[in-house]
Structure 1
Amino acid sequence: MNFHIPTAMLLTAITTLIMGLSLAFTVTDYPRALQVPIRQWVRSLLVSPFAFLLFALRERIPDWASIVLANVLLIVSTTLLVQALRSYNRLGSLRAWSVANIVITLAAVSVMTYVWPSIAGRTLLVAGQLAVLFVFGIAAIYRPADQVTNPERMVASFLVVGVLVMILRMTYASDPLMTTLLDSTPMQSIVFTYGALMPVIATSGFLLMCGQRLNKDLARLATLDPLTEVFNRRTMTDLANKAVAASKRHGRPLSLLILDIDHFKRINDEFGHEAGDLALCRFVELVREMLRSSDVVARIGGEEFVVLLPDTDQASAAVLAERIRQHLHATEFTVSGWPVPLRVSIGVGSIGPEVSNLESLLREADHAMYEAKRTGRDRVVLAADLRAASKSES
């Protein structure tokens, strides 16, 4: 039994239109970061059915619709699909190139329909453009390659198949068995079988990509402070407990800093909460500049942070704390052109004979930080010095 091309096109158009409309109703259920690529994918699914419908009506409607407009819509649909993949991976737009490509398609197909009628010429042109667009889609997925997920590999693999199919179609552009687009030939069967499967398989893979990104973002939000993107209190507690256990097990030093931004309320009151948010983010950037990759930063309160320092004794932690304080003191921070001083009070605590667990380590460092506040702010206080002073008084 012959492969009936018009029927395959109509079924593909109906399937793609249903998928596009269904996905359009779910866009707002996704986070904003995913809504842009999903909307572009939806537009692709809503444009391609009209291309297939016009192809299926060849010889029943004028050539300007069934040939010229149909091919242009096919290129537009594939361009939107590629742009969706680029947006998903936060790559730049190809708008200028895409517009130029669509204009070239319109002009070239019109010439090869009315001026120099050539099925083989149109086939070479459109198949070549689709192959190039598929390559752009693959490049959007594999950039950077080390972060490619399995759903992305699924979509990329299907695009690779599309490139091979288009190259094969270009190789047999002058098919002696084909006199019109609707002729059922082995080459046409391969092309339109791929065309019928592509919306279903590619959309399934794209939705899996979005679902995996959503799960990854949710897991990330569960461990990080959403504003400063450092660890939150719960994650810090888990990591610190493990660090304390490792320190005691292997006999290695461990220290902890508690940092509290001085006069932070004044920043919010005088410049607004948006300025306060900027100050917090800038504070984190400056602190991170002074740390090692193994050090852990966490936000445990409004303007209060913890820095966990593995393999760091009390003396080294005190030196680091002072360097952080001086770095903040020396760095200018402005809001709307107005200088806003970033000052910090730091308490330093270390694991030792009198501090053997996380609770006592946090308590002593916190007490030292409040002593720094009490004695004038913008300074570093060691918990060990407070213990020594307390013993000497008693």
Structure 2
Amino acid sequence: MLIDIDLRSVMMVSVLLGILFSGGLLAARTYHDGRIRASMTIWASGMLLQPLAWALIALRGQIPDYLSIVFGNSLSVLAFALFAHALRRMHEHSTVPRLVYALSAAVFIGLSADVLVVHQPQWRVFGLSLLIAVFLFQVARETLAGPWRVQQAGVQLTAAVFFFGAGVMVFRLVYEGFFATAPREVFAPTVLQSVVFVYAALAPVIASFGYVLICNEQTVADLRRMAATDPLTGLFNRRPFEQMGEKLIADAARKRRPLALLIIDVDHFKQFNDTYGHAVGDAVLQRLADVLQAQLRGADLIGRMGGEEFAALLPDTGASHALQVAERLREAVDALEVRSVGVVVRIQVSIGLAMLDENAIHDDEPGELLAALTREADLAMYAAKRAGRNRVEVAF
């Protein structure tokens, strides 16, 4: 039963688990880089604080109260603040979670005031429970604030640990505020004390398991993203462009909505590489990708099909509007100056425009529709080349 639990033993087990888990995280971080490695370092730092915090709390009565009560509890809370910081760093935020750290500072100040001045243990427990409930709720929110899907197992587990802790603190707050009759010994084996101590001891370990799952899920997502995008321009490669393009075409055919495809090819691109070197050629492609992303909508699909050829699918875009978009792109590129390795070059593009056949129906194979649309746009692009380049041609 909970009331038979020796709380000091629970704390010592937590110390051992914290040391082992933090050591494992520090070893695992060597296999990662970038934001995941930085995040794991911060999380492991929090795990290392937990054993120190629990050691100070377990020595209550044998060391000064300021060390045991103030520093012990404050370090435990700071460890959870580092967890929130690690989660924010995971989703590429360079900022720190100020509210979480502010609440940690409030815990330290409040405990210091009580131990040194106020000397009201019951109010200390009441105030500490309130602050930690808000604190854990904020850490749980930080867990759910990333770009990751909330249905991921790691996110669910980690957030659940913190939300549960906030609930425990709220219950403790209500109990201490309305039902407690007298202060109790901190290690008294009551049901409520047992729940609080067992949670505080095991929550970092369970949350760390969830955090490891988040790291694994993010690593897999990063690998998929790297495989799907062109490392030079950051745009989709041909295969993922075609996969997503087929979905857009299927949706357009089903709803009988217009859809346009642009094939964009840099004029005389080989001359840039031959004359100025590949560094200038790469700069040309990067700047062209920037122009495409700046000129097109978020709903439009853009990809690098290979070499100096790019493609853009424009859903819900009729022929006249698509022609306007193509001309706007051509003019934006024509006005572009590319500076690289001490030279300035101007570039131009030829654009082929093709519209999804109005007779296409949702039963038609999306892959075949996209292939046919690409052939038409390609032919129109080559027609623009033959007509003098730096122009837009429409497939008929």
**Shorter-chain TM-score category?**
0.7 to 0.9
Match of 1:307 in 2: 312
Q: AA paired with 1:44?
A: G
Q: Check 1:309–1:57 CA distance in 2 against 1; reply closer, same or farther (3 A cut).
A: closer
After superposition, the CA RMSD in angstroms is 4.0
Cα distance in 1, alignment partners of residues 352 and 171 from structure 2: 70
- In the TM superposition, 1:106-185 aligns within 5 A as 106-143=108-145, 147-151=149-153, 152-173=155-176, 175=180, 179-185=184-190
Q: Check 1:115–1:359 CA distance in 2 against 1; reply closer, same or farther (3 A cut).
A: closer
Cα distance in 1, alignment partners of residues 204 and 256 from structure 2: 60
Name which of 74, 87, 90 aligns with 1:88: 90
Whether the aligned pair in 2 keeps the contact of 1:56 and 1:182 (CA below 8 Å) is: no
Cα distance in 1, alignment partners of residues 53 and 206 from structure 2: 19
What displacement does 1:16 show? 1.6
Cα distance in 1, alignment partners of residues 25 and 6 from structure 2: 29
Q: Check 1:44–1:303 CA distance in 2 against 1; reply closer, same or farther (3 A cut).
A: same
What displacement does 1:273 show? 6.7
The 3-state SS of whatever aligns with 2:4 is coil
What displacement does 1:6 show? 0.9
Q: Which runs of 5+ in 1 are unaligned?
A: 385-394
Q: String of CA shifts for 1:324-344, please: whole Å, max 9, x gaps.
A: 3234445x5675999864521
Q: Check 1:282–1:188 CA distance in 2 against 1; reply closer, same or farther (3 A cut).
A: same
Q: AA paired with 1:160?
A: F
TM-score, reference length from structure 1: 0.78
Match of 2:241 in 1: 236
Match of 2:291 in 1: 283
Match of 1:16 in 2: 18
Q: AA paired with 1:168?
A: F
- In the TM superposition, 1:57-72 aligns within 5 A as 57-72=59-74
Residue 372 (1) aligns with residue 387 (2): no
What displacement does 1:22 show? 0.5
The 3-state SS of whatever aligns with 1:59 is coil
Name which of 24, 27, 30 aligns with 1:25: 27
What displacement does 1:249 show? 11
What displacement does 1:235 show? 2.6
Match of 1:346 in 2: 351
Whether the aligned pair in 2 keeps the contact of 1:286 and 1:327 (CA below 8 Å) is: no
What displacement does 1:33 show? 3.0
Cα distance in 1, alignment partners of residues 174 and 388 from structure 2: 80
Q: Check 1:16–1:245 CA distance in 2 against 1; reply closer, same or farther (3 A cut).
A: closer
TM-score, reference length from structure 2: 0.77
Q: AA paired with 1:345?
A: S
Name which of 209, 215, 226 aligns with 2:214: 209
What displacement does 1:46 show? 1.0
Residue 324 (1) aligns with residue 329 (2): yes
Q: Which moved more, 1:103-112 or 1:295-304?
A: 103-112
Q: Which moved more, 1:142-151 or 1:211-220?
A: 142-151
Length, aligned pairs only: 378
Whether the aligned pair in 2 keeps the contact of 1:127 and 1:169 (CA below 8 Å) is: yes
What displacement does 1:88 show? 3.2
Q: AA paired with 2:222?
A: D
What displacement does 1:142 show? 3.8
Match of 1:389 in 2: none
What displacement does 1:247 show? 9.4
Whether the aligned pair in 2 keeps the contact of 1:178 and 1:184 (CA below 8 Å) is: no
Whether the aligned pair in 2 keeps the contact of 1:297 and 1:308 (CA below 8 Å) is: yes
Cα distance in 1, alignment partners of residues 159 and 356 from structure 2: 51
Whether the aligned pair in 1 keeps the contact of 2:232 and 2:286 (CA below 8 Å) is: no
Cα distance in 1, alignment partners of residues 194 and 168 from structure 2: 11
Residue 224 (1) aligns with residue 219 (2): no
Whether the aligned pair in 2 keeps the contact of 1:296 and 1:307 (CA below 8 Å) is: yes
